[in-house]
Amino acid sequence: MWWYVVLIVVVGLERVAELVVSLRNARWSFERGGVETGKGHYPFMVVLHTGFLAGCLVEAIVADRPFVPALGWTMLAVVLLAQGLRWWCITVLGAQWNTRVIVVPGASLVAAGPYRWLRHPNYVAVVAEGIALPLVHTAWITAVLFLLLNIPLLTVRIRAEEAALDTALTK
């Protein structure tokens, strides 16, 4: 179980690294006239993602969830692939990547990397990790709850991003 705690802490530290990058990129965007939209859902997103990491640990420990090798190792591979996809997205978007919805007027739409094939590849990583990370240690309740709570959040988020991009691209 100790290694699962370490895994969750490492993922939590990765989230902190994302926030550092996001703050730097937000500053860059605002310096170039960036406009933020869709602020209303952001606090819920922060609470959900923080609660998700806590839920992974609480369920695994309190419910004494076992590590099932066939499931656990497979889900760990999915978690690692999701992290790779997430950072590929962050790298390809560069200064335009953010945890908030900030669009810089005149910036071009990125169509490289995973964005060649998918409009929102980062959310594929979010969903994959949301299912896989808890299942590394069979915390299935956390996986189901995160998925059910994340579906409406992603719906709102993607609509906000699409509206912001449509507005920026039509100007």
E strands, the chain, in order: 35-37, 101-103
171 pLDDT more than 60: no
pLDDT in tens, 123-149: 999 999 999 999 999 999 999 999 999
Report which of 127, 102, 120, 124 is spatially closest to residue 39, judged by C-alpha positions: 102
Proportion of the chain in helix, strand, coil states, percent, rounded to 5:
75, 5, 20
What is the CATH T-level fold of the domain 2-170, as seen in this structure?
A: Four Helix Bundle (Hemerythrin (Met), subunit A) (1.20.120)
Residue-range domain boundaries for the chain: 2-170
pTM: 0.91
